[in-house]
Amino acid sequence: MTQRHISIFLPSLDGGGAEKVMLALAERFVARGVQCDLVIAINKGQLLDQIPEGVRMIKLGKKKTLASTFALANYLRRERPQVLLSTIFSANITAMLAAMMAPRTIRVALREADQTHMVIGGGKRIKTWANYIFGYFLYHRAYAVIAVSDSVKSSLIRTRLAHQSAIHVIRNPASPATVVNESRVHASSLPLVLACGRLEAQKDYTTLLRAFTKVRKHCDAKLAILGEGSLLETLQRQARDFGIDERVSFVGFSSDPQQWMYRSTVFVHSSRHEGMSNVLMEALTCGCAIVATDCPGGTREILADGKYGTLVPVGDDNAMATAIIDVLQGKMRFPNASEHLRKFDIEVVTDTYLKLLFPQDRKGT
């Protein structure tokens, strides 16, 4: 039997959730005997040194994702993988354009990891319409569209980017808990409030800073935010303006956020919208007490309608502050989530991907 061959296409290897999921899947694909290529448009990212053993790295060397269309098409014609799996909207558009210039036997699966109506409607009107027209034209030609949560599936249906019958919900895998390395765990005598994610508007750290300002009136604690992004200086200025800058640390990118999670007293997720938050599942895996916004996306599903963490309204710094204080003062405790997390197990998720992408070989997964 011909060896199964899958190519994963990404804009880059920046340290976001989508990239981490694709690296985890690539590792498991190879472990299942699948030939796996990881193709990136732009040769950059904090995860470049974390390519799993056995995964072949292909760098197209472009400055923008869309500019890699012809290079990706040439790669597809040369290598002829059975499956091209892409994620992130810009990569999905590029993948479909390239596939139209490649052998038609290639099955293209587009993974959508965020609220589609937010992604295509997040810019100027002309860009929104261009995104929608390209998306509608190309997504309908995909072999499959993978939504990472029921909410993302609903968003795809709402925007009519894909036929409902072509949409498959495959949730993100939960990262296995790592062994605590004491030398890498943040040391502090104060309770630690932790957040993790890109410093961009979607994550709404302004609301978190406002909430932490209120928390400080009741509890002496520290706030650490892991992540990089364009809003760093803005958020640092806000922390100074709120008078909390001495208790707030902007740590930057962390290759091992779980070490911080084990040390934290409460993990806060302040997003305005999500697909299926990887970092939230990591926090749950580490046994963190969680406060999260009840935003569009998979947050409510991850926390089982609030069973494993407190859900607060999006943008409500008062509710967020109250929930954080309740945890810090020992008023709120949550049950162990290990059984709940089984459905996010990496092996279960890998099985689901392989059954979808290689339907002719279901017994071989």
- Same-domain pairing of 146 and 274: no
- Same-domain pairing of 317 and 188: yes
Please give the structure tokens belonging to residue 189: 């005598």
Lowest-pLDDT range of 49-58, 174-183, 184-193, 298-307: 174-183
- Same-domain pairing of 322 and 268: yes
Lowest-pLDDT range of 10-19, 195-204, 205-214: 10-19
Question: What pLDDT shows up at residue 183?
Answer: 45
- Same-domain pairing of 126 and 208: no
pTM of the model: 0.85
Find out whether 95 and 69 touch, Cβ atoms under 8 Å: no
**Can you name the residues that pair with 38 across neighbouring β-strands?**
8, 57
Lowest-pLDDT range of 120-124, 148-152, 229-233, 259-263: 120-124
pLDDT category of residue 362 using cuts at 50, 70 and 90: low
Task: Please name the amino acid found at residue 136.
Answer: Y
CATH number for 168: 3.40.50.2000
- Same-domain pairing of 283 and 320: yes
| Helix or strand run (H / E) with residue 159 | helix 150-159
Place of tokens 């640390």: 249
Q: Which of 323, 97, 66, 314 is nearest to 219 (CA)?
A: 323
Q: What does the pLDDT average to over 135-161?
A: 91
Task: Please name the amino acid found at residue 182.
Answer: E
Question: What pLDDT shows up at residue 71?
Answer: 98
Average pLDDT over the chain, rounded to whole? 91
Say whether pLDDT at 364 is over 50.
Answer: no
CA atoms within 13 A on the CB side of 202: 15
**Can you name the residues that pair with 108 across neighbouring β-strands?**
84
Find out whether 90 and 81 touch, Cβ atoms under 8 Å: no
Q: Which of 300, 257, 301 is nearest to 279 (CA)?
A: 257
- Same-domain pairing of 167 and 219: no
**Can you name the residues that pair with 85 across neighbouring β-strands?**
8, 109
Q: Which distant-in-sequence residues (6+ apart) come within 8 Å of 252 by Cβ?
A: 226, 227, 228
Q: Which of 342, 237, 225, 222 is nearest to 281 (CA)?
A: 342
Q: Which distant-in-sequence residues (6+ apart) come within 8 Å of 213 by Cβ?
A: 242, 243, 244, 321
DSSP 253: -
Domain count, the chain: 2
- Give the domain extent around 161: 5-173+345-364
- Same-domain pairing of 263 and 350: no
- Same-domain pairing of 232 and 127: no
Question: What pLDDT shows up at residue 126?
Answer: 57
DSSP 173: P
- Same-domain pairing of 152 and 186: no
Q: Round to whole Å and give the CA distance between 272 and 150.
A: 17
- Same-domain pairing of 265 and 296: yes
Find out whether 69 and 77 touch, Cβ atoms under 8 Å: no
Find out whether 319 and 137 touch, Cβ atoms under 8 Å: no
Say whether pLDDT at 132 is over 80.
Answer: no
Count other Cβ atoms within 10 Å, centred on residue 363: 4
Question: 3-class secondary structure for 14-33?
Answer: CCCHHHHHHHHHHHHHHHCC
- Same-domain pairing of 52 and 163: yes
Tens digit of each residue's pLDDT (9 = 90 or more) over 52-83? 999 999 999 999 999 999 999 999 999 999 99
Q: Which of 337, 308, 330 is nearest to 191 (CA)?
A: 330
- Same-domain pairing of 150 and 293: no
Q: Which of 327, 316, 208, 357 is nearest to 265 (CA)?
A: 327
